[in-house]
């Protein structure tokens, strides 16, 4: 069956950035998202305005498309299950999402298939006195570091867990990483798997600020990470794009921090720096088309998130023009109507030759944006 309409649960910037690829592949996007101002509403063929976890709305979405995919994993799997039983085609499937949506379940799954993860436990089952700092994470609905706390002492731990009495928490060791890395990988329904170059991600206060492609790591490490990504997608029998975040400890140990079952911020550089972007690749996978070439088109690239630094309705046009005037720069603006602290408003990717320092370029961009 040739797939012509893809339903997307979630209408944020990840859905918005699928638009160009959808057009290229001759596919229409139908979106389920709560607000009329959400970024992807303007590019959708049609939109169902409803919360992400509204399964009745997804039933309607499914009547308008051939396959349903996700740009946001805050869905209610139990409520979606009857739809899958009635024949709605979810890609990735609900079985694939099931071990991934809760951070504790995800850690258990990764451990079970032999992939390395930090030491972890549920808050209720912390059996031994753990050393501080430790990391406390809400098991569900965390994003951009919200719900992740680096806890330095017992008092703070009590305060946080008392304040979040209704939240289920995961506790894990604080990993003294040298670098954070990430890899984007895709799998098609017939089992074809492709991986993108491993990147370095740089976080401040648990929020991603910069991505450098490729990461400055050994070929052995790159091969190991690509192999881990391939094993994971094969084990899951996943379909679509997956973002995998990792910690590099010392110079050769890697631990998996998190799996995102969708396109991912660490892959935005692929829009300009790779032959086929993560957004096109995701659509290729969910539409059962042959997967595309993941190679870099320039020796390197740096991606800087444009994060909100104030409450405002400014569209920052002048700054965007200044950024776009930089050599080899590509500016993406998500058209969110309001800015607030830490909100992802857009990003810039700069293609680099082998002599240009990513750090210098990142500083120039940040000095324009955050002034
Ligand atoms: P989110 O799902 O909100 O992105 P993550 O679990 O990915 O949250 O954590 C966000 C950031 O917090 C990570 O990129 C890393 O910088 C830091 N972090 C998370 N877990 C740990 C850990 N166990 N040890 C050290 N730093 C961590």
Work out the end-to-end distance of the chain between its first and last CA atoms, rounded to an integer number of angstroms.
Answer: 52
pLDDT tens, residue order, the chain (371 aa): 799 999 999 999 999 999 999 999 999 999 999 999 999 999 999 999 999 999 999 999 999 999 999 999 999 999 999 999 999 999 999 999 999 999 999 999 999 999 999 999 998 887 777 789 999 999 998 887 788 999 999 899 989 988 878 889 999 999 999 999 999 999 999 999 999 999 999 999 999 999 999 999 999 999 999 999 999 999 999 999 999 999 999 988 999 999 999 999 999 999 999 999 999 999 999 999 999 999 999 999 999 999 999 999 999 999 999 999 999 999 999 999 999 999 999 999 999 998 899 999 999 999 999 98
| Dist. CA 293–CA 299, nearest whole Å | 16
| For ligand 1, mutation pick of 74, 141, 145, 169 (most atoms within 8 Å of CB) | 145
| Dist. CA 311–CA 343, nearest whole Å | 10
H or E stretch covering 279 = helix 278-286
9 upstream amide cis, omega within 30 of 0: no
| Dist. CA 191–CA 186, nearest whole Å | 10
pLDDT score of 131: 87
264-290, pLDDT tens digit by residue?
999 999 999 999 999 999 999 999 999
Minimum CA distance residue for ligand 1 atom 23: 174
pLDDT score of 39: 97
Residues 6+ apart with CB under 8 A from 59: 83, 88
Residues 6+ apart with CB under 8 A from 22: 6, 28, 29, 43, 283
Of 13, 16, 18, which Cα lies nearest the Cα of 284? 18
CA angle 240, 12, 76 (to 5 degrees): 65
CA angle 135, 139, 145 (to 5 degrees): 55
Domains and CATH numbers, the chain: 5-90 (3.40.50.20), 119-173 (3.30.1490.20), 179-370 (3.30.470.20)
Q: Is 257 in the pocket of ligand 1 (CB under 6 A)?
A: yes
Residues linked to residue 255 through DSSP beta bridges, in sequence order: 247
Q: Is 73 in the pocket of ligand 1 (CB under 6 A)?
A: no
Q: Given the structure tokens 């970024």, which residue do they identify?
A: 39
- Per the CB < 8 A criterion, the answer to whether 47 and 31 are in contact is yes
Q: Is 245 in the pocket of ligand 1 (CB under 6 A)?
A: yes
CA distances in angstroms from 223 to 64, 247, 264, 266, 291, listed in the order given: 41, 15, 21, 18, 20
CA of 288 to the centre of ligand 1 (A): 33
Torsion-angle region of residue 252: left (phi > 0), alpha (psi -120 to 50) or beta?
alpha
pLDDT score of 276: 98
State the DSSP code for 53.
Answer: T
Decide the pairing of beta strands 179-187 and 148-151.
unpaired
CA of 21 to the centre of ligand 1 (A): 30
CA distances in angstroms from 334 to 6, 46, 100, 140, 148, listed in the order given: 21, 19, 27, 25, 25
| For ligand 1, mutation pick of 148, 152, 203 (most atoms within 8 Å of CB) | 148
Q: Is 71 in the pocket of ligand 1 (CB under 6 A)?
A: no
93-150, pLDDT tens digit by residue?
999 999 999 999 999 999 999 999 999 999 888 777 778 999 999 999 888 778 899 9
H or E stretch covering 80 = helix 77-85
| Dist. CA 216–CA 261, nearest whole Å | 25
């Amino acid at each position: 069956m040739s797939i012509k309409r893809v339903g997307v649960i979630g209408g944020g910037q990840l859905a918005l950035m699928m638009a160009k690829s959808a057009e290229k592949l001759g596919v229409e996007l139908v979106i389920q998202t709560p607000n009329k101002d959400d970024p992807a509403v303007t590019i959708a063929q049609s939109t169902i305005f409803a919360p992400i976890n509204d399964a009745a709305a997804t039933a309607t979405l499914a009547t308008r498309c051939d396959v349903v995919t996700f740009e946001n994993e805050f869905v209610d799997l139990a409520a979606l299950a009857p739809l899958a039983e009635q024949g709605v085609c979810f890609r990735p499937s609900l079985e694939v999402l099931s071990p991934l949506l809760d951070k504790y379940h995800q850690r258990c799954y990764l451990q079970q298939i032999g992939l390395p993860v930090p030491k972890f436990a549920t808050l209720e089952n912390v059996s031994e006195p753990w050393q501080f700092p430790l990391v406390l994470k809400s098991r569900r609905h965390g994003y951009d570091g919200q719900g992740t706390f680096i806890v330095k002492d017992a008092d703070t731990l009590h305060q946080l867990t008392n304040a979040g009495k209704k939240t289920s928490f995961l506790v894990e060791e604080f990993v003294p990483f040298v670098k954070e890395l990430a890899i984007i990988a895709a799998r098609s329904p017939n089992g074809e798997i492709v991986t993108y170059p491993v990147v370095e991600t740089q976080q401040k206060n648990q929020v991603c600020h910069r991505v450098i492609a490729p990461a400055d790591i050994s070929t052995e490490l790159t091969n190991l990470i690509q192999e881990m990504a391939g094993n994971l997608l094969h084990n899951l029998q996943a379909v679509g794009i997956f973002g995998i975040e990792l910690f590099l400890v010392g110079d050769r140990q890697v631990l998996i921090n998190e799996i995102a079952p969708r396109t991912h911020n660490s892959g935005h550089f692929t829009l300009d720096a790779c032959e086929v972007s993560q957004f096109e690749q995701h659509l290729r996978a969910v539409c059962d088309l042959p997967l595309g070439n993941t190679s870099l088109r320039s020796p390197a690239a740096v991606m800087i998130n444009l994060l909100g630094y104030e409450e405002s309705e400014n569209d920052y046009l002048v700054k965007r023009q200044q950024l776009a005037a930089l050599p080899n720069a590509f500016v993406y603006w998500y058209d969110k109507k309001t800015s607030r602290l830490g909100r992802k408003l857009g990003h810039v990717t700069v293609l680099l030759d082998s002599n240009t320092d990513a750090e210098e370029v990142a500083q120039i961009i940040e000095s324009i944006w955050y002034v």
